[in-house]
């Protein structure tokens, strides 16, 4: 039982290592760059899968939480503390919360440690998700979709219209995020392999945490809320509390992904907060099978990778819009849903046994 549960995760870890070795051997390490980015986006998608697929609460505004992470760390780590004479900046330096790095002009600057900005970003996102989640999660259906969409647009507009956030240009030249022992989240091509592993480890950790969650008391409560909020509540599940919890949790996943990807890219722009980004996340969760972390992971990697490498060209948004329609019309439970997989398996078995049609499924 335990082995069965961990085998797929171990398999995934092995696949990651094999893939990296293959790209290095074949001299194709540049593939890793987009894969690293895809892994960070996948972190957002995994969080959203739990919120949307398992707990049944749609969010059309998750790009906003990603942007909150990205912009918070961008703004905070770009503040120049070199000449910190007094007040808060001095205190930050004295407490050892600052680091130095060399900027694009070869000048050494002292700035806030990304560890601190990561903590600030998570706290900020938690607070915002909590405050916005209380009224938003009372809504259902169209209203929930519109409210989360509205929240996303407001964040997008703020990012786009505020000079602190660089308006349409965004923020660039963001310093690397030095983790420990020479490991650093940065776009430096020399660090491509280690960055691939940093992203992979983060993604695996997120996956394991969420797999644990859905197969537990809390996870069952969430799935029950999706199935019948009324029945779940009658069984003693604090439905409002659980919905809020998972909303905040998925927002934090998005925020952390935003912080890491921003340091990896060395910049962040308003397109990260765009509604289309949120819609893309929703589309991938839907293709992945809605309530299916593995499906979301697979689709998240594949689609993000193809999109980032420009395979869809100027048809990128068309592809994701088309996916939404096709999935909802023909596979409303998601492409990789348990039922489709089961049907596929059944079809294969029938094919092998050479048997024909199937009777009614026995429901009254």
* Footprint of another protein on 191-250 (CB under 8 A): 209-210, 212-213, 216-221, 223-224, 226-228, 230-239, 242, 245-246, 249
Give min distance, CB of 36 to another protein, in A: 24
Select 121 or 207, whichever has its Cβ closest to another protein. Answer: 207
Q: Of residues 91-120, which lie at the interface with another protein (CB under 8 A)?
A: none
Select 153 or 308, whichever has its Cβ closest to another protein. Answer: 153
Give min distance, CB of 141 to another protein, in A: 4
Contact residues for 312 (Cβ-Cβ < 8 A; gap 6+) = 306, 318, 319
Give min distance, CB of 341 to another protein, in A: 13
Give min distance, CB of 328 to another protein, in A: 4
Give min distance, CB of 234 to another protein, in A: 5
Distance CA 256, CA 61 (A): 16
Distance CA 54, CA 39 (A): 21
Distance CA 193, CA 31 (A): 10
Q: Of residues 18-37, which lie at the interface with another protein (CB under 8 A)?
A: none
286 belongs to the binding site for another protein (CB under 8 A): yes
252 belongs to the binding site for another protein (CB under 8 A): no
Select 63 or 92, whichever has its Cβ closest to another protein. Answer: 63
Distance CA 71, CA 50 (A): 25
Q: Which of 107, 180, 356, 361 binds another protein (CB under 8 A)?
A: 361
Give min distance, CB of 124 to another protein, in A: 19
Select 102 or 231, whichever has its Cβ closest to another protein. Answer: 231
Q: What are phi and psi of 86, to 5 degrees?
A: -160, -175
Alpha helices per DSSP H over 49-137: 62-78, 87-94, 114-136
Give min distance, CB of 214 to another protein, in A: 9
Give min distance, CB of 272 to another protein, in A: 18
Which 3-state string (H, E, C) describes 115-180? Answer: HHHHHHHHHHHHHHHHHHHHHHCCCCHHHHHHHHHHHHHHHHHHHHHCHHHCHHHCEECCCCEEEE
Contact by Cβ (8 Å): 272, 260: no
Select 39 or 147, whichever has its Cβ closest to another protein. Answer: 147
Q: Of residues 303-342, which lie at the interface with another protein (CB under 8 A)?
A: 314-315, 317-318, 320-325, 327-329, 332, 338
Distance CA 51, CA 291 (A): 9
Within 10 A of 122 (CB to CB), how many other CB atoms are there?
18
Q: Of residues 40-79, which lie at the interface with another protein (CB under 8 A)?
A: 56, 58, 60
Contact residues for 10 (Cβ-Cβ < 8 A; gap 6+) = none
Contact residues for 85 (Cβ-Cβ < 8 A; gap 6+) = none
- 301-308 long-range contacts, CB within 8 A, separation 24+: 301/35, 301/38, 301/39, 301/42, 304/34, 304/37, 304/38, 304/41, 304/42, 305/34, 305/35, 305/38, 307/280, 308/34, 308/37, 308/38
What token pair was written down for 22? 């293959």
Q: Of residues 148-187, which lie at the interface with another protein (CB under 8 A)?
A: 149-151, 153-154, 157-158, 160-162
Give min distance, CB of 149 to another protein, in A: 7
Select 101 or 271, whichever has its Cβ closest to another protein. Answer: 271
276 belongs to the binding site for another protein (CB under 8 A): yes
Distance CA 179, CA 156 (A): 30
Select 23 or 278, whichever has its Cβ closest to another protein. Answer: 278
Select 92 or 286, whichever has its Cβ closest to another protein. Answer: 286
């Amino acid at each position: 039982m335990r082995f069965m549960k961990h085998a797929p995760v171990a398999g995934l870890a092995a696949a990651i290592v094999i893939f990296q070795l293959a790209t290095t051997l074949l001299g194709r390490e540049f593939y890793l760059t987009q894969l690293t980015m895809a892994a960070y986006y996948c972190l957002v998608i995994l969080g959203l899968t739990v919120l949307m697929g398992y707990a049944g609460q749609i969010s059309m505004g998750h790009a906003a939480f990603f942007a909150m992470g990205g912009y918070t760390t961008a703004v905070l780590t770009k503040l120049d503390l070199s000449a910190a004479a007094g007040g808060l900046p001095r205190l930050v330096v004295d407490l050892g919360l600052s680091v130095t790095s060399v900027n694009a002009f070869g000048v050494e600057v002292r700035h806030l440690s990304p560890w601190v900005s990561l903590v600030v970003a998570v706290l900020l996102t938690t607070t915002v998700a909590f405050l916005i989640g209380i009224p938003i999660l009372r809504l259902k259906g169209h209203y929930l979709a519109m409210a989360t969409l509205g929240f996303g647009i407001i964040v997008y507009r703020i990012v786009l219209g505020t000079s602190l956030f660089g308006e349409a240009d965004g923020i660039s030249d963001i310093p690397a995020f030095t983790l420990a022992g020479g490991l650093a989240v940065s776009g430096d091509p020399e660090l491509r392999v280690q960055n691939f592993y940093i992203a992979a480890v983060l993604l695996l950790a997120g996956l394991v945490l969420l797999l644990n969650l859905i197969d537990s008391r809390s996870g069952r409560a969430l799935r029950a809320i999706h199935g019948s909020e009324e029945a779940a509540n009658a069984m003693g599940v604090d439905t409002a509390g659980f919905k809020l919890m998972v909303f905040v949790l998925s927002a934090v996943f998005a925020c952390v992904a935003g912080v890491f990807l921003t340091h990896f890219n060395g910049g962040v722009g308003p397109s990260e907060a765009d509604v289309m980004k949120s819609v893309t996340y929703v589309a991938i969760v839907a293709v992945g099978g809605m309530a299916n972390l593995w499906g979301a992971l697979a689709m998240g990697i594949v689609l993000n990778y193809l999109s980032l490498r420009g395979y869809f060209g100027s048809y990128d948004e068309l592809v994701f819009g088309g996916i939404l329609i096709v999935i909802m019309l023909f596979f409303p439970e998601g492409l990789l849903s348990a039922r489709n997989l089961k049907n596929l398996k059944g079809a294969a078995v029938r094919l092998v046994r050479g048997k024909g049609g199937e009777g009614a499924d026995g429901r009254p």
